Structure formats: C-alpha cells, structure tokens
Amino acid sequence: MILSGQEIRNRLGSDIRITPFEEDCLNPNSYNLSLHHELLVYEEVVLDAKQPNRFRRIAIPDEGIILSPGQIYLGRTIEHTETHNLVPMIEGRSSIARLGLFVHCSSGFGDAGFCGHWTIEMFAVQPVRIYAGLRICQIFFHEVTGQIREYCSEKYQHNHDVQPSLLYKEFKHSRPSEQLEFSFESLASKCCSSASEHQREETVQLAQATV
C-alpha cells in the first residue's frame, strides 16, 4: 500500500523525515525532491565494476547545464530523508520524462531505515538543459508487512554527498577503498612532474654524451 500525501504529512517527524520540507512539494501520494547544484561525471572510457573509477565534479551554473546523450551524470537531492517502518522509493516526474530525461538507472528502490541524500543517475535521450533546484524526482512510501530489518549498509547510509558506485567493495580482491576524484589541478601536477623527470633524464644523457 502506498501512502497518500496526507499520510506522508501525518508521519513527518516519526516514520518519515524530509529536510527541508515544503508544503507545495507534497503531491496526492508522493513528495517532489529537488536537484543539488553539483554533479559527478566519470572520467573512465570503460567503467570497471571491481575497481573505484575516476570522476570529476561539475557545478551547475545559473544558466543551467546541458546533459549530453551517452553519459551518466550523478547528482543528488537537496533534501535529506530518513525513513522507518516504510519502504521509500523514488521515480521521475512525468514532466521530466517528457523531456527525455531518466533520473535513475534501475535504482529507485530504497530500504526501510535508509537515511541520507538520494544519489540519482541521470541519462538524457537527447541534449537537455537542466538547472540546480529543479524538482527532479518524487519520493513515495510503501507500507511493509512482516518483521522489518532496517537498512544498515556501510556503503551508502548517511550520505551527505553525491555517491559514485561502491560496488567494488563487494569483491574480496579489489583495490583498497578510495575515491578517485579527478581534477585539472591534479592532472597539471602530474604533467609537471612528468616534464621535470623527462628534463632530468635529458640532462643526464647530455652529461654522459659530453663525457
């Protein structure tokens, strides 16, 4: 059974917490969640399920950002949610779907006990411009029958940031846990180091030739 909008409101502060909460985001049987201003984009040509993958951060400017087809854009909700004794789920809004934008790749199913910001995996059918603060998706809640064992995973519980895939943690022989954030500053540093090393090698070769 899915909770009505009125029942969502009635359970705020007990089974359901949504921060911040705005009354005009409440729907007949769901609540609209908004897009944070920061996105993550993977830098690998081929993503590896057994290893952490490099990524870079993109800030959405005031004029918006154009999402291109063939690329996964990881974002997160502005809202922080906490759910007990219910199963939270997120889905795209019909107005967003009519722009050809998917807001999750088969991961809209939540768990009772989940606490944190929702990471969303956006994929565009055609180029589309989006904006920070856009009401990107909606959360709704299912009642559960039977005994509940609440979600307590160390991977995604209590998220406060956009969270890339941590699937590699499920493999016994994967590399140590680490976030490989890519930035132009780190790339420039590596290039400078490589250039310095190359220059040292040339100096040694020149000295040897002189001798």
User: Do residue 26 and residue 114 come from a single domain?
Assistant: yes
Write the CATH number for 118. Answer: 2.70.40.10
Q: In which domain, by residue range, is 194 found?
A: 183-211
Q: How far apart are CA 29 and CA 24, in angstroms?
A: 13
User: Do residue 209 and residue 167 come from a single domain?
Assistant: no
**Token pair 């854009």 in the structure block, residue:** 73
Structural contact between residues 65 and 58, judged by C-beta atoms closer than 8 angstroms: yes
Which stretch of 27-36, 104-113, 172-181, 187-196 has the lowest confidence by average pLDDT? 187-196
Mean per-residue pLDDT, 182-211: 49
Higher model confidence: residue 65 or residue 180?
65
Structural contact between residues 156 and 199, judged by C-beta atoms closer than 8 angstroms: no
What counts of helices (H) and strands (E) characterise the chain?
Answer: 3, 11
Average pLDDT, the chain: 84
Q: How far apart are CA 90 and CA 108, in angstroms?
A: 5
Q: Residues of the chain with pLDDT > 90: what percent? A: 62
User: Do residue 39 and residue 92 come from a single domain?
Assistant: yes
pLDDT at 151: 61
User: Do residue 96 and residue 21 come from a single domain?
Assistant: yes
For residue 96, what are its two tokens?
Answer: 């967003």
pLDDT band at residue 68, thresholds of 50, 70 and 90?
very high
Whether 183 shows a pLDDT value over 80: the answer reads no
User: Do residue 206 and residue 148 come from a single domain?
Assistant: no
The total domain count for the chain is 2
Mean per-residue pLDDT, 121-146: 96
User: Do residue 199 and residue 115 come from a single domain?
Assistant: no
pLDDT at 201: 54
Mean per-residue pLDDT, 5-11: 97
Which stretch of 28-32, 154-158, 173-177, 190-194 has the lowest confidence by average pLDDT? 190-194
User: Do residue 167 and residue 193 come from a single domain?
Assistant: no
User: Do residue 148 and residue 73 come from a single domain?
Assistant: yes
Q: How far is CA 68 from CA 54, 122, 125, 136, in A?
A: 19, 10, 8, 17
User: Do residue 203 and residue 102 come from a single domain?
Assistant: no
Structural contact between residues 46 and 102, judged by C-beta atoms closer than 8 angstroms: no
Whether 180 shows a pLDDT value over 60: the answer reads no
pLDDT band at residue 194, thresholds of 50, 70 and 90?
very low
pLDDT at 27: 97
pLDDT at 182: 52
- The catalytic site residues sit at 121
Mean per-residue pLDDT, 124-143: 97
